[in-house]
Amino acid sequence: MLLDDKSVYLMRLGDNALVLSQRLSEWCGKGPAFEEDMALTNTALDLIGQARMWLSYAGEVEGRGRDEDALAFRRDSHEFTNLLLVEQPNGDYAHTLVRQFFFDVWHQLVLDALMRSSDDRIADIAAKAIKEVAYHLRRSSDLVVRLGDGSAESRRRMQDAVDELWMYTGEMFNADETEELLGAQGLACDPSTLKDAWLAMVSEVFAEATLTLPEGEWMQKGGKQGRHGEHLGLLLAEMQFLQRAYPGATW
């Protein structure tokens, strides 16, 4: 059923933006420097705006009366379809930054492809979001170079973060039936087609950052199918608390 596939796909895009936005928001007021605090929260703000556009559309296509808020605040962990990468805890600043960089490169490639979607609204949202994501990517790749090719301490932390987060990158390029189907119709992007470009960009930045690309090939997967680690549940507990405790609360 095409409509189901389409809403599933839109929800994935929305969930990625929403969950990463929530993670970044955890840094609010705690950033290592004032400039970084502003950068993290501004990036979170862009992503929450993008999440709203994707989830609103997902809810409309789904046709079950769920709006963006219902989708964000009244689904459980197993119904979230974000990539495992974006739910990983903030860790130290290197983890936050490497997670952001891996995602930004991928996000940019996906949106670039979606700008050519046969679905006008998908293309419009992608064209708007990519301008913001270009800015995210410029900052994260710049910082990866500065901290990778920085002090011995910053380099060690960056390499540790790269090694630990690497196993969450494979999932970004595993196309499932939904993506294959919608990709073939020109509506969505088959993510397996993005892998070479992603790797080329990451390798180029890592070379400049004196970081080593891990060789491990074993990858985690399941986020898109709703199989998450414990971290997502804890994130949602905090994010959804108010609407769960006081359903429909507004101010």
Partner 1 sequence: MGDLRERSERVWGWLADVPDPEIPVISIVDLGIVREVNWHDEPAGAVCEVVITPTYSGCPATEVIGRSIEEALRERGVERVRLESRIAPAWTTDWLTSEGRRKLSEYGIAPPARRADGRQVIDISGLRRRTVDDAPAACPHCGSTHTEPISRHGSTPCKALHRCLDCREPFDYFKCH
Nearer to partner 1, 234 or 242 (CB): 242
What character string, x for contact with partner 1 (CB under 8 A) and - otherwise, covers 8-47? --------------------------xx--xx--xxxxxx
Binding flag, residue 108, partner 1 (CB under 8 A):
yes
What would the 3-class secondary structure string for 77-103 be? HHHCCCCHHHHCCCCCHHHHHHHHHHH
Q: Which two tokens stand for residue 182?
A: 């919608």
Per DSSP, 229 falls in state -
Find the binder of partner 1 among 67, 142, 153, 196 (CB under 8 A).
142
Residue 135: which H helix or E strand, with range? helix 120-148
Binding flag, residue 129, partner 1 (CB under 8 A):
yes
Binding flag, residue 53, partner 1 (CB under 8 A):
yes
As a whole number of angstroms, the distance between CA 199 and CA 213 comes to: 9
Site for partner 1 in 170-209 (CB under 8 A): 197, 201, 204-205
Q: Which amino acid is at 7?
A: S
Question: Among residues 139, 130, 144, 138, which one has the least CA distance to residue 46?
Answer: 130
Nearer to partner 1, 184 or 213 (CB): 213
Phi then psi dihedrals of residue 183, to 5 deg: -65, -45
Binding flag, residue 112, partner 1 (CB under 8 A):
yes
CB of 44 vs partner 1, minimal distance in Å = 8
As a whole number of angstroms, the distance between CA 232 and CA 170 comes to: 19
As a whole number of angstroms, the distance between CA 187 and CA 113 comes to: 10
As a whole number of angstroms, the distance between CA 112 and CA 100 comes to: 18
Binding flag, residue 109, partner 1 (CB under 8 A):
yes
CB of 131 vs partner 1, minimal distance in Å = 6
CB of 227 vs partner 1, minimal distance in Å = 29
Q: Which two tokens stand for residue 235?
A: 């994130």
Find the binder of partner 1 among 132, 158, 162, 236 (CB under 8 A).
132
CB of 97 vs partner 1, minimal distance in Å = 14
Find where tokens 């890592």 sit: 206
Nearer to partner 1, 42 or 90 (CB): 42
Q: Which amino acid is at 161?
A: A
Find the binder of partner 1 among 130, 209, 232, 235 (CB under 8 A).
130
Phi then psi dihedrals of residue 29, to 5 deg: 85, -5
Considering only the stretches 108-116, 156-164, 185-193, 220-228, report the one whose residues sit in contact with partner 1 under the rule CB under 8 A.
Answer: 108-116
Residue numbers at the binding site for partner 1 (CB under 8 A): 34-35, 38-39, 42-50, 52-53, 108-109, 112, 115, 120, 123-125, 127-132, 134-135, 137-139, 141-142, 197, 201, 204-205
